[in-house]
Amino acid sequence: MRVFLVVFCTTLFLAGCKTTEPTYYYGAYPAAVYSYFKADDTSVSQQITILEDVIEQARVKGKPVPPGVHAHLGMLYFETGNAGQGVTNFEQEKFLYPESVTYIDFLMNNRAGAKI
């Protein structure tokens, strides 16, 4: 009986603590964006690995990939010269988030030069 009471009270207590579950899985994406901006010790290929992992973890957890992850990853691939993966990820951003279509098309059309 006493054990039951303890379990009951703990459950009640923890239920009170429960915060809203985030909609998306973010993982280390914000930290990777920060690394990119600062141009710190994390290389571009390491940043790619981090973002691929975020996408994989989101799949495992059954959560959607947040806005911008595929677009940011595409940019990193373009920077390493992997245009194939760059285009694939840009297309994936457009597919997941139609709000991005105009901008992503603008970026693709302006890739004639070395610029993104």
Partner 1 sequence: MRQIQFALVLVIVAFTSGCVSMPPAQDYSAFRNADPHSIVILPPINKSTEVVAPYSVMSQLLVPIAESGFYVFPVALVDQTFKNNGLTVANDIHAVPIQKLHEIFAADAALYMTIEDYGTSYVVIASDTVVSVSATLVDLRSGEVLWQHAASASSAETRGNNSGGLVGMLVEAAVSQIIETVTDRGFEIAAIANTRLLSADGHNGLLYGPRSAKYGQPVTSEKQK
Does position 55 interact with partner 1 (CB under 8 A)? The reply is: no
CA 31, CA 12: separation in Å to the nearest integer? 35
Nearer to partner 1, 5 or 112 (CB): 112
Number of amino acids touching partner 1 (CB under 8 A): 32
Return the residue of 38, 62, 84, 109 that touches partner 1, per CB under 8 A. Answer: 38
Distance CA 23, CA 97 (A): 15
The tokens 């009170």 sit on which residue? 16
Cα–Cα dist 9/44, whole Å:
49
Positions touching partner 1 (CB under 8 A) are 20, 22-24, 26, 29-31, 33-34, 36-38, 66-69, 71-72, 75, 93, 97, 99-103, 106-107, 110, 115-116
